[in-house]
Amino acid sequence: MPSYVITGVSRGIGWEFLRQISANPNNQVIGLVRDKKATDKRVSEELAGRTNINILEADLSDYDAIKNSAAATSEITGGSLDYLIANAANMSKWDAYDPIGVLAENPKELEKQLINSTTVNIVGNINLFKLYIPLLLKGQAKKVIALTSGHADLDAINQVGIEPAALYSISKAGMNIAVGKFNVQYKKDGILFFSLSPGVVDVGSQADATPEQLQKLGAMAAGFMRAYPDWKGPAQPEDSVKDMLAVIEKASIEDGFGGAFLSHHGDKHWL
Ligand SMILES: NC(=O)c1ccc[n+]([C@@H]2O[C@H](COP(=O)([O-])OP(=O)(O)OC[C@H]3O[C@@H](n4cnc5c(N)ncnc54)[C@H](OP(=O)(O)O)[C@@H]3O)[C@@H](O)[C@H]2O)c1
């Protein structure tokens, strides 16, 4: 029975990973969330009868909570884990619209926000990887997938001219490096680590944006369209997750995926 741990399954892309992977009753799916009660309720309402789902509580900024989740996972799976999907992320709206020079006009808030995003997206995921390695070593698939973003691609930033999301991008670039370092250390043990971007996916996060903020996003989208003329706008979570699961399935250390930074197409085509 292949086992999966997925972080951030309360909503968005994480929920869709949970929904699609648990549709196969042969998969054992463990979802990590910050509010177990709320996600248990959603699972019972929308995925009723799926006995292959377990929800555990762990905030990625809480080392002991991640450690406890690994122990609880071990109890559920009998000590092993096949796939770890590090999906959860701090995605503050604070840096989502303005360029870095504007953000830096408020240095105290900038420092606070950068610490928050690096605490969760870099330190949290490093702790997550490390604490689940003993289980992964006993698994069959031995795959760790970290959800990243094309925002962390330096060439894309400069060529497309992407101004917003500076702090988020910095945290994802740092996470990509951590993934590479884990790959270098653990590929000899057969554990595949790689970073995978979902593309631009509509998870409803712009629902409360002001007209001025929407205009700034429109300018960024216009840049995307110039760089990627075939792009049709944000994808639905269902399609993005299908694409990512295909990449996850085919990825292997032997085929050079160790430490890679890839899109849902399995290449550097981010949209
Ligand atoms: N959507 C896109 O277009 C897009 C593009 C590129 C990359 N990505 C990446 O894809 C992944 C999923 O994004 P999404 O769009 O689905 O985002 P989302 O809808 O905002 O969901 C984020 C998830 O992360 C969880 N989370 C946030 N902070 C956490 C913490 N401190 N500890 C544990 N969990 C925490 C949230 O839990 P709560 O419900 O408790 O807040 C939620 O489940 C992220 O890694 C994101 O960077 C998304």
- Does residue 268 belong to any structural domain of this protein? no
Find the domain containing 121 and state its range: 3-262
**Nearest residue (CA) to ligand 1, atom 5:** 200
Q: Which residues are catalytic?
A: 168, 172
Residue 111 located in a structural domain: yes
pLDDT of residue 141: 98
pLDDT tens-place string over residues 139-184: 999 999 999 999 999 999 999 999 999 999 999 999 999 999 999 9
pLDDT tens digit sequence for 98-123: 999 999 999 999 999 999 999 999 99
Asked whether residue 271 is assigned to any structural domain, the reply reads: no
What does the pLDDT look like over 182-234, one tens digit per residue? 999 999 999 999 999 999 999 999 899 999 999 999 999 999 999 999 999 99
For residue 222, tell me if it sits in a domain.
yes
Task: For residue 56, report the phi and psi dihedrals to the nearest 5 degrees.
Answer: -120, 155
| Residue 61 lies inside a defined structural domain of this protein | yes
Number of compact structural domains in the chain: 1
Residue 177 lies in a domain: yes
Confirm whether 267 is domain-assigned.
no
Pocket test for ligand 1, best of 5, 10, 13 (most atoms within 8 A of CB): 13
| pLDDT tens digits for range 78-89 | 999 999 999 999
Asked if residue 270 is part of any domain, the answer here is no
Q: Tell me, what CATH number does 95's domain have?
A: 3.40.50.720
Task: Point out which residues pair with 56 in neighbouring strands.
Answer: 32
Q: How far does residue 258's CA lie from ligand 1's centre (Å)?
A: 23
